[in-house]
Structure formats: structure tokens, C-alpha cells
Amino acid sequence: QSEVFNGYTIKNDTGEPNGWYCMFNGKLIKGGKAAIQRHIEAYLVAKQKAMQVQAQQQKK
């Protein structure tokens, strides 16, 4: 079973609830699907905030 979430493919080969995994920024993350999705979302939010701060600093 696999699912694409925000451009990242989350896979589960075993059918176990905590059997999900994803290659994320060069690292293998494993766990529950919801936990992996939260991890990806948190990274994307932090990345977006960092880009906004960088853009504001360049305007000064």
C-alpha cells in the first residue's frame, strides 16, 4: 500500500498500523501514517516560514 502526501510517497508493505515508512530528506522515517504526515507537514511549515524570513531580510 502506498500513498502520496505533499509530494512524498508513504508506503506500508506489512499492513501493520505502524508499518508505514517514507524516504524524507535522505533519511528513512518509520511509524504510523498520521505521525509521518505530521512530520512532513511540520517540515514544510518550517521551510515556508524560513523562506518568508529570508525574503523579508533581502528587502531590507
CA 32 from centroid of its chain's CA atoms: 13
Count up the domains in the chain and report the number: 1
C-alpha cell of residue 48: 515556508
Neighbours of 12 (CB within 10 A): 16
pLDDT recorded at residue 58: 87
R_g over Cα of the chain: 15
Assess whether pLDDT exceeds 80 at residue 60: no
Summarised one tens digit per residue, pLDDT across range 30-48 is 999 999 999 999 999 999 9
This prediction has a pTM of 0.86
Q: Which of 19, 39, 16 is nearest to 27 (CA)?
A: 39
Determine the pLDDT at residue 36: 98
Percent of the chain with pLDDT over 90: 90
- Residue 39 structural domain: 2-59
The answer on pLDDT for 12 being more than 90 is yes
Beta bridge partners of 49: none
